[in-house]
Amino acid sequence: MGFLGKLSLLVCMFLIVTITNAFAHFGMVIPSDNMVMQNDAKKIDIVLSFSHPFEGHGMELVKPASFFVVKDGEKKSLLNKLKETKVRGKKAWKTEFAIKRLGVYSFCMIPRPYWEPAEDCYIVHYTRTVVVAFGDDEGWDAELGLKTEIVPLSKPFGLYKGNLFQGIVKLDKKVVPYAEVEVEYYNEDGKAKAPTDYMVTQTIKADKNGVFSYAVPKSGWWGFAALNTSDKKMKYKEEEKDIEMGAVLWVKFEDF
């Protein structure tokens, strides 16, 4: 193979790897504890970031457009509580939150649009995680009315490794038939190794009612990202570009 042939092969391999990695973006909202019991610390740390969670590649997360908690249908902004930090060497955000009442707390981040040249589009991931406290779990399946969201059909906490997790994908409060959902493990300590690149991000599809199912093989945090394209566009260098709308839900699974 001549020089030009080798160069073409290297370019093709680079593009394949770049495009494959681009599919694995996840907004992340990870609390230090998602099930707060009576004898636990009553304050939790929450870290907001943007990365390829399995591969450990971080990306810059500018201060989100919105960050809030929903409790018993009441929404409270936490945006002014955020402090800059680093996750995997990239800009991220953190805060401390005091758990004062029993029940279900939904923490949600709406980031500013992220330009991804590999996909030639903007990315906005509406990211949510759920924390439950002091034995009360009423309202764990509540719909928050986000632009796009995964409404859990299984409790998004109190799950064992191997349990089947189910959710409904919604966009503009309507179910999304046959929505594509990417699933990825948060490889926080970097010890997990995928047999092949195909196993880093797993992709499943919802059924005609927007319902998807997935049984996780390992304990820890797992991200579910339902991807759709917005009917609106944003300009990048005077050109109209698509906006990828991701409904992201982070769920922790425990060892038996």
Over residues 91-122, the pLDDT tens digits come to: 999 999 999 999 999 999 999 999 999 889 99
* Extents of the domains making up the chain: 3-254
Q: Which residues pair with 34 in a beta bridge?
A: none
Domain 3-254 is of which CATH architecture? Answer: Sandwich (2.60)
CA nearest neighbour of 214 among 165, 160, 178: 165
Q: How far apart are CA 16 and CA 205, in angstroms?
A: 23
- Alpha-carbon distance 49 to 181, whole Å? 20
pLDDT in tens, 229-242: 988 999 999 899 99
The string of DSSP codes covering 13-77 is: HHHHHHHHHHTT-EEEEEES-SEE-TTS-SEEEEEEEEEETTTTEEE--PPPSEEEEEETTEEEE
Name the CA dihedral angle for 21, 218, 94, 22, rounded to a multiple of 10 degrees: 10
Query: Which two tokens mark 43?
Result: 């304050």
Which DSSP state fits 219? S
For the segment 168-181, what is each residue's pLDDT rounded down to a tens digit?
999 999 999 999 99
